[in-house]
């Protein structure tokens, strides 16, 4: 892995663990095994490096979601696969956690990939649910956009509940509850 890649990955991990303020250039350099000169050779400073790291996390979340959304099966099965996929629940969502970081939220450049990730997820879920309706799998009265927003909110809320309880159980309950509600709207 190149020095710039190590710096991005180290920043990505630290942002997930500590947030923006808690991620110092020194901590990034130590985790990456890179010196200050290397860091500033590749990036103008912490904001540029953080943006690259946030984009990397966003791209990974989007790709992981797309794996489940592209699976064969009904809309409910694909959404269920998305909600049930393996996650490090107790660490929280690497993108969702950034919404609680005042420095990220206050900076339009850092906030943009976070907002775009959630917009993309809601959009793809809306498409999957609309496809399910078009195929006659789901109740035609179901609002795909509102349901997609609900699924994303349940997922993010599940992370919060799990972290508060220091247990994956609340996350799993939230995901299974959302799946049951969707399944109840399936057309037999």
Give me the half-sphere count of Cα atoms (radius 13 Å) on the Cβ side of residue 52: 16
Instruction: Give residue 50's pLDDT.
Output: 94
Residue 48 belongs to a domain: no
Domain count along the chain: 1
61 is a domain residue: yes
Element (H or E) spanning 101, and its range?
Answer: none
Q: Would you state the pLDDT for residue 120?
A: 97
Position 161 scores a pLDDT of 97
CATH at 128: 1.10.357.10
In a domain, 107, yes or no: yes
Task: Specify the pLDDT at position 145.
Answer: 98
Q: What is the pLDDT of residue 87?
A: 94
Q: State the pLDDT at residue 11.
A: 93
**Is 11 part of a structural domain of the chain?**
no
Q: Which residues of the chain have pLDDT under 70?
A: none
Candidates 164, 162, 98, 153; CA nearest to 121 is: 153
pLDDT value for 101 = 92
Range of the domain at 113: 57-184
């Amino acid at each position: 892995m190149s020095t710039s890649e190590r710096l991005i990955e180290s920043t990505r991990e630290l942002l997930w663990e500590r947030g923006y303020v808690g991620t110092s250039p020194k901590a990034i350099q130590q985790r990456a095994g890179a010196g200050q000169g290397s860091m500033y050779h590749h990036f103008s400073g912490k904001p540029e490096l953080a943006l690259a790291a946030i984009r990397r996390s966003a791209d990974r979340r989007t790709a992981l979601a797309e794996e489940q959304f592209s699976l064969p099966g009904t809309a409910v099965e694909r959404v269920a696969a998305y909600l049930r996929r393996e996650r490090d629940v107790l660490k929280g969502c690497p993108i969702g956690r950034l919404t609680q970081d005042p420095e990220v939220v206050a900076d339009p450049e850092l906030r943009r990939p976070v907002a775009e990730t959630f917009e993309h997820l809601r959009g793809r879920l809306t498409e999957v649910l609309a496809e399910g309706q078009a195929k006659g799998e789901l109740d035609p009265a179901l609002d795909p956009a509102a349901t997609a927003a609900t699924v994303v909110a349940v997922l993010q809320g599940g992370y919060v509940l799990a972290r508060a309880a220091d247990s994956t159980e609340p996350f799993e309950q939230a995901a299974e509850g959302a799946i049951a509600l969707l399944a109840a709207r399936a057309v037999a």
